[in-house]
Amino acid sequence: MVNLNGDWNALHKSNPPIDEVAYQLPRGGWIYVLETSSDYERFKLGKANESGNGPFTRYSNLRTGDPYLTIHCAFFIPSRLGSAQKVESMLHEGISDLRIYDHHGSPTEWFQKRPGWGVEYICAKLARFAQQRDVRYRCDLPPDLDRVVFIYESDLRRFFGKSDSE
């Protein structure tokens, strides 16, 4: 675990920018949480399987309809735990009472924010699923990573070489 209160220069030297190293991501998928400032009362919990862009492919597709969309955070799911789709389904079941339905009564991909939901809830569910003591934030993703961790959008952008406008 990286000490976030430590010396930023030392941290930066130990984690040089992506374009300075041949970076290899660990094997696994992603669970992401999208939010939008156009509606603070909803969020999307989705999945991204192993690919070159992680959660950014789906994020880019959705952002064309909502320019205020952001990736709140993403959870790395190591391949030993199975597909990100399996994990997404388990999490969706746990928050099914928060699902938003369209005017036809069909379920959408979005959920209502309520007290008690959030990163802490997802971390607790994923820790139990992965049989880990906890799910921690990481600002690096070593290729041999074999546990569930969460990461914020700025670090995801660094790993996938994405600018703020993408």
Q: What is the pLDDT of residues 58-78, one digit of tens each?
A: 888 888 788 899 999 999 999
Residue 2 has pLDDT above 80, yes or no: no
Q: Is the pTM of the predicted complex or chain greater than 0.85?
A: no
148 band by pLDDT with thresholds 50, 70 and 90: very high
Residue 114 has pLDDT above 90, yes or no: no
- The residues that bridge with 112 in the sheet, in sequence order, are 42
Q: Poorest-confidence range of 7-21, 34-48, 138-152?
A: 7-21
Q: Poorest-confidence range of 7-16, 91-100, 125-134?
A: 7-16
Cα three-residue angle 160-109-51, rounded to 5 degrees: 25
